[in-house]
Amino acid sequence: MATGGAPRRKAIAVLLSAAAALVFIWAAVSLLPAPQYVLWSSFSSGSGSRGNGPANNGGIDPAQIFLHIPSTDHLRHNLQYYASGTHVAGINTSQALYTKEYFEKQGIDSKIVEYYPWMNYPIDQKVVLFNETTYEIFYKAGLKEDVIPGDDASEDPNNLPAFHGLSANGNVTGKLVYANYGALDDFEALADAGISVKDKIVLVRYGGFLRGLKVKAAAMYGARGVLIYSDPADDGYVKGKVYPDGPWRPESSFQRGSVALIQEYPGDPLTPGYPATKNAPHINPKDAKNINRIPSLPLSYRDAQPLLQALQGYGKNASDINPSWVGGLKSKGVEYWTGPSALDVNLLNKVEYKMTPIQNVIARIKGWEDPERAVIIGNHRDAWCAGASDPSSGSAILLELARAFGELKKLGWRPRRSIILASWDAEEYGLIGSTEWVEENIDWLRANAVGYVNVDAAVGGSTFAAHASPVFKDLLYKVTKQVPYPDSNKTLYDVWLRESLASSSAAPLLAKEHSKDSAVANSVHSPLPQDMQSSGYSSKTPVIPPLGAGSDFTAFMAHAGVSSLHLGFDGDEGAYHSNYDSFARMTAFIDPEMKLHRVVAQVWGLLAIRLADDAVVDFNVVSYARELKHYINELKKHISLQLKKSEKYTTPSSADSMEAIAVKNLRHLRAAQRQLLVNAHLLEHDKRRLRSIYGEDCQMSSRHRRAICLKLRESINDRVSQLERHFIDPEGIPGREWYKHVLVSPGRWMGYGFQLFPAIAEAAEDHDWKKLRQHEKHTAGLIHEAAWFLRDV
Of 392, 283, 367, 446, the closest CA to residue 54 belongs to 367
Q: pLDDT, tens digit, for every residue of 467-481?
A: 999 999 999 999 999
User: Mean per-residue pLDDT for 201-229?
Assistant: 96
What is d(CA 463, CA 509) in angstroms, rounded to the nearest whole number?
A: 9
Domain boundaries for CATH 3.40.630.10 within the chain:
63-116+360-613
In DSSP terms, 423 is beta-bridged to 361, 379
State the pLDDT at residue 516: 40
Give just the sign of the alpha carbon dihedral 787, 779, 721, 468: negative
What is d(CA 406, CA 410) in angstroms, rounded to the nearest whole number?
A: 6
CATH of range 118-355; options 4.10.910.10, 3.50.30.30, 3.40.50.300, 3.90.1170.50: 3.50.30.30
In DSSP terms, 353 is beta-bridged to 120
State the pLDDT at residue 540: 87
Domain boundaries for CATH 3.50.30.30 within the chain:
118-355
CATH class of 63-116+360-613: alpha beta
β strands within 713-784, DSSP E: 744-746, 754-756
Burial 87-121 (b: 16+ CB within 10 A, else e): bbbbebeebbebbbebbeebebebebbbbbbbbbb
DSSP class per residue in 422-458:
EEES-HHHHSHHHHHHHHHTHHHHHHHEEEEEEEEEE
User: Mean per-residue pLDDT for 356-374?
Assistant: 97
Q: pLDDT, tens digit, for every residue of 290-323?
A: 999 999 999 999 999 999 999 999 999 999 999 9
**CB neighbours of 254 closer than 8 A, spacing ≥ 6?**
143, 145, 162, 229, 230, 298, 299, 300, 303, 578
Distances (CA, A) of 326 to 184, 219, 302, 308, 790: 18, 23, 16, 11, 53
**515 has a pLDDT exceeding 60:** no
By CB neighbour count within 10 A (0-12 exposed, 13-18 middle, 19+ buried), where does 8 fall?
exposed
What is d(CA 610, CA 612) in angstroms, rounded to the nearest whole number?
A: 5
Q: pLDDT, tens digit, for every residue of 591-618?
A: 999 999 999 999 999 999 999 999 999 9
Domain boundaries for CATH 1.20.930.40 within the chain:
621-791
Q: pLDDT, tens digit, for every residue of 218-248?
A: 999 999 999 999 999 999 999 999 999 999 9
What is d(CA 540, CA 536) in angstroms, rounded to the nearest whole number?
A: 12
Phi, psi dihedral angles at 471 (to 5 degrees): -65, -25
Q: Check: CB of residue 214 under 8 Å from CB of residue 352.
A: no
Q: Check: CB of residue 582 under 8 Å from CB of residue 83.
A: yes
| 648 confidence band (pLDDT: 50, 70, 90) | low
CA angle 114, 117, 123 (to 5 degrees): 120
pTM of the model: 0.90
Distances (CA, A) of 458 to 291, 388, 509: 28, 10, 10
State the pLDDT at residue 643: 85
* Long-range Cβ contacts of 699-702 (<8 Å, 24+ apart): 699/47, 699/52
Q: Check: CB of residue 505 under 8 Å from CB of residue 526.
A: yes
Rg of the chain in Å (alpha carbons): 28
State the pLDDT at residue 655: 63
**CB neighbours of 216 closer than 8 A, spacing ≥ 6?**
261, 292
Q: pLDDT, tens digit, for every residue of 518-549?
A: 322 322 223 343 334 333 445 589 999 999 99
What is d(CA 257, CA 215) in angstroms, rounded to the nearest whole number?
A: 13
Domain 621-791 coded CATH 3.10.310.30? no
What is d(CA 46, CA 683) in angstroms, rounded to the nearest whole number?
A: 16
| 651 confidence band (pLDDT: 50, 70, 90) | low
Phi, psi dihedral angles at 33 (to 5 degrees): -65, 145
Q: 344-355 and 118-130 as β-strands: parallel, antiparallel, unpaired?
A: antiparallel
Q: Which amino acid is at 650?
A: T
In DSSP terms, 741 is beta-bridged to 728
- The sheet carrying 449-459 orders its strands as 109-115, 358-365, 417-424, 370-380, 449-459, 564-570, 463-468
Q: pLDDT, tens digit, for every residue of 41-59?
A: 222 333 333 334 444 444 7
Q: 170-178 and 344-355 as β-strands: parallel, antiparallel, unpaired?
A: antiparallel
Specify which of 11-25, 272-286, 698-712 reaches the highest per-range mean pLDDT: 272-286
Q: Check: CB of residue 444 under 8 Å from CB of residue 368.
A: no
Q: Check: CB of residue 358 under 8 Å from CB of residue 89.
A: yes
Of 369, 384, 361, 385, the closest CA to residue 418 belongs to 369
